[in-house]
Amino acid sequence: MAKKSDSKSLYENLSGELRRGALVLAVLAQLKTEQYGYSLKQALAEKGLEINEGTLYPLLRRLEKQGLLKSDWRVVDAKRPRRYYIISDAGAEILEHLKQDWQFLIGTMDKLL
């Protein structure tokens, strides 16, 4: 039988996996308007999705590398330069497909659970 700590760790791993895919969807949806890293984190948190910095910021770079986001460095409020991200055309197209998949998945899972 699995120990309590093993079971907790297993739950955390599975829960992490479950969230991972949804995070991409949430980030893409949120970046229809331009945001820098910290403002995006805040915006997601305000809507109830708390994301660890070590997960969110590297994710932004990965999505940009995949061509789903665009970014550039700018000084907006006379503070230091910040990197601003926005969804790309390819990202917007994929977001639409992902949204449909998400709706379908929710419907299916509702029936299953």
Where on the chain is the footprint of another protein (CB under 8 A)? 9, 12, 36-38, 52-55, 57-59, 61-62, 73-75, 80-83
The closest of 71, 73, 72, 66 to 95, measured between CA atoms, is 66
Closest approach of Cβ 85 to another protein, in Å?
A: 10
d(CA 75, CA 4) in angstroms, rounded, equals: 50
Question: Which residue, 84 or 91, has its beta carbon nearer to another protein?
Answer: 84
Closest approach of Cβ 83 to another protein, in Å?
A: 5
Closest approach of Cβ 64 to another protein, in Å?
A: 11
The closest of 110, 105, 97, 83 to 29, measured between CA atoms, is 97
